[in-house]
Chains A and B, each alone.
Chain A
C-alpha cells in the first residue's frame, strides 16, 4: 500500500515539472493566441545551455541556473519582436509554420553542436538528496524544489496578470487586441514582454529538467506534447489548473509505467484523449 502511495507522491512531484513545461505554452495560447511548436525545443535548448555553463565553463549549478533566466527572457523577447511579430499580420496558420521551421532548426542545430548523445547535468549532490517522510516513503529534495518552483511561478504569474498594471495591459491585448490598440496600448511591445515571460518559464523548465531527467536534441517534441496536453486539460486562462493537469498526466504515465514500461508515454496520451473527449473545454476554464 505504501508502495502505491509512494508512486502517487512521486508522480505528483513530476506533475510540477510538467506544469512548468506547460505554463509558457498557456501564456502564449492565452495572450499571443498561437501555439509555439518550438516550445519543447526551446526548453531543451535551455537544458543544453545549462550543460555548457556547468560543464564547459565550470559554473556551479545554482549560478548557471540564475544566468539562464535573463537569457530566457531575452530570447523570448527577441523571438517575438524579431520573428513572430513579423508574421502577426498573417493568419494563425502561418505563425504555426514559422514555429515549425524554428523547431526543426533548433533540433538539428543542437544535434550538430552537441551530437545525439543523451545528457544530464550534475548539480553537486542535490539531485541525490532525499527527505524521509514516514514508513518507507522518501521524497527527493530536487523534485520537491521543482514542485515548489512550479507553485511559486504559478502564484507569481497570477499576481502579475491579475494584480498589476502590466497584467491588466497584457490581459487587455489578450481579450481584444484591436480595442487595446485604440486605447493607446503598444501591442507589439506588450506581446514581446509576454513572450519574455514565456522565455523565463522555458529557462526554468530547461534548467530544472537538465538536472532531473536525461535529455537529447530530439526530446523537445515529447516535452511540447506534454505541455500541450496539460494546457488543454487545464482549460484557457487557468494557471492552477495547469498544475492539476500536470499531475494528471504524470499520474497517468506513472500508472501506465507500472503495468509495462512501454505503456508509460502511451497511458499519458490516452488519458489525455479520453478527458479531452469528455471535457473539450478543459477542466477549469476561466472563460
Chain B
C-alpha cells in the first residue's frame, strides 16, 4: 500500500533521473557544470552517509581519500604514463589499500576520538602530498591538454564527457550502496544505525560491518577524487585535500538531508545547492547559515529533513526493507 504522496515522490525521483540522463542535450554548458558539481557532492554525501550514517563510524577526514585518489591518478596517468582507464582503476586500488591501512590504525578509537583521529591522518597526508617530488610540490600540477583532449577535443564535448562519467559514478555509488544495504552486511548496518547495543545482542558482527562500510567506501571516494581532478584539470594539495569542500560541505548535506537514509543525501544536495545559489554572494554568512541550520537540525530533527517527511509518508521512497508478513519490498 502506497499513498499518493509516496507515488508522487517516486515519480519525481524517476523524472529527476531521466532529466539527469538527458542533461547533455537539454541544458547549457553552465548548467551542466553545476550538475556535475552537484552529482560529485551527492556521491560524496552518499558515501559519507554509508560510513557515518549507517556504520556509525564518525569520520571527518573523508577528504583524505579524495586527495589520495587525485594524487594516485596523477601519478599513474602522468608520471607512469598509463592509459586513463588503467590509471583510474589503479587509483581506486590505492585508495582501497589506504582505506584498509587507515582503518587498521584507527578502528580501536571510539566515536569522538576516531573523528578527530581521521582528521589528523588527513592533515598528515595533505602535508606529505605537498612535499611529494614529481607532483608539483606546494603549488600543484596541471593535467596536460593532450590528456584532457582524449575526453573531447573541444571544451563543450569535454564537459559532457566528464558529466556522463560523473553521472555514471553517482549511479554506480548509489547502486552499490543500495545492493550493500540489501545484503546481510546492510542488514547489520541498518541494525547498527538504529542501536549499536541492540545490533550486537542480535548477533550482528558489529566490528565486521563497521569495517566493511569504511573500507568499501574508500575506493569509491578515490574515484570521486579522480573525477574531481578531471573536472579541475589539475591537482594541488590544497584543493585535492580540501576539508571544506570534501568533508565540511558533505557533512552539512547529509545532516540537513537526513543521516542514515538513502533519500537524505539526495534531499540534502538539493537544499545545499539551492542555498548556495541564494547565499553565495554573502561569503561568510553562507557558511554561518549552513552551520546554524545543521545545529538546529541535529537538535530538533536528528533524522534530517527526510526524517520529518518520512514521518508524514510512512515509508521510504527508495524501497529497501522487506514487509515481514508478505516478504515484498517496501
A interface list, Cβ under 8 A from B:
29, 33-35, 37, 83, 86-87, 90-94, 96-98, 100-105, 107-109, 111-112, 221, 224-225, 228-229, 232, 262-263, 265-266, 269-270, 272-273, 276-277, 280
Query: Within the assembled complex, what's the spacing in Å between the Cα atoms of A232 and B118?
Result: 13
Q: Which of A100, A109, A225 contacts B288 (CB 8 A)?
A: A109
Tell me the B70-100 residues at the A interface (CB within 8 Å): none
Known: A35-B115, A266-B128. A273 touches B108 (CB 8 A): no
Decide yes or no whether B147 CB sits under 8 A from chain A: no
B120–A269 touching, CB < 8 Å: yes
Query: Chain A contacts of B120 at CB under 8 A?
Result: 225, 228-229, 269, 272-273
Q: Is the CB of A101 within 8 A of B111?
A: no
Complex CA gap A100/B110 in Å reads 17
A-B contact pairs, 20 of them (CB 8 A): A29-B112, A87-B298, A94-B298, A98-B295, A101-B294, A103-B291, A105-B287, A105-B295, A109-B288, A112-B288, A224-B116, A225-B123, A228-B120, A262-B127, A265-B127, A266-B124, A266-B127, A269-B123, A273-B120, A276-B117
Q: Which of B46-61 contact A (CB under 8 A)?
A: 52, 56, 58, 60
Contact indicator A93/B56 (Cβ below 8 Å): yes
Within 8 A of A (CB), among B271-298: 283-285, 287-288, 290-292, 294-295, 298
- A225-B119, A269-B120 known; A112-B298 Cβ under 8 A: no
A87 to B288, CA, bound (A): 20
B20 CB, nearest partner CB in chain A, Å: 29
Chain A residues positioned under 8 Å from B112 (CB to CB)? 29, 33-35, 92, 96
With A37-B116, A93-B111, A277-B105 known as contacts, the answer to whether A105 contacts B292 (CB < 8 A) is yes
- Give chain B nearest CB distance to A220 CB in angstroms: 12
With A and B bound together, what is the CA distance between A33 and B293 in angstroms? Answer: 24
The verdict on B121 contacting chain A, using a C-beta distance below 8 Å, is yes
Q: Are B251 and A97 in contact (CB under 8 A)?
A: yes
Q: Separation in Å of the A276 CB from the closest CB of chain B?
A: 8
- Number of B residues near A (Cβ < 8 Å) is 42
Once the chains bind, are B115 and A96 in contact (CB under 8 Å)? yes
Q: How distant is the Cα of A280 from the Cα of B58 in the complex, in angstroms?
A: 18
> Once the chains bind, are A228 and B108 in contact (CB under 8 Å)?
no
**Residues of B with C-beta under 8 A to A225:** 116, 119-120, 123
Give chain A's interface secondary structure class: helix
Q: Does B140 count as interface, using CB distance less than 8 angstroms?
A: no
Decide: A269 and B127 in contact? CB cutoff 8 A: yes
Residues on A with C-beta less than 8 A from B117 are 228, 232, 276
Q: Which residues of B contact A29 (CB under 8 A)?
A: 112-113
Q: Which residues of A contact B128 (CB under 8 A)?
A: 266
Give residues of chain B (195-252) contacting chain A, Cβ–Cβ below 8 Å. 243, 248, 251-252
CA distance A271 to B123 in the complex (A): 14
Distance between Cα atoms of A265 and B123 in the complex (Å): 10
CB atoms of A98 and B299 under 8 A apart: yes
- B291 touching A104, Cβ below 8 Å: yes
A102 to chain B, nearest CB (A): 7
A93-B127 in contact (CB<8A): no
Neighbouring B residues of A96 by C-beta, 8 Å: 58, 60, 111-112, 115
Residue of A nearest to B57 (CB): A93
Check if B37 is an interface residue, CB within 8 A of chain A: no
Contacts of B109 in A (CB 8 A): 280
User: Cβ of A93 and Cβ of B292 under 8 Å apart?
Assistant: no
A107 nearest CB neighbor, chain B only: B287
- Kindly provide the distance from the CB of A241 to the nearest chain B CB, expressed in whole angstroms: 16
- Chain B residues whose C-beta falls within 8 Å of the C-beta of A33 in the assembled complex: 112
Say yes or no: B248 contacts A92, CB within 8 Å.
no
Tell me the smallest distance from the CB of B98 to a CB of chain A, in Å: 14
The answer to whether A105 touches B288, judged by C-beta atoms less than 8 angstroms apart, is yes
How distant is the Cα of A103 from the Cα of B247 in the complex, in angstroms? 14
User: Which chain B residue shows the least CB distance to A106?
Assistant: B291
Q: CA of A280 to CA of B113 in the docked complex: distance in angstroms?
A: 11
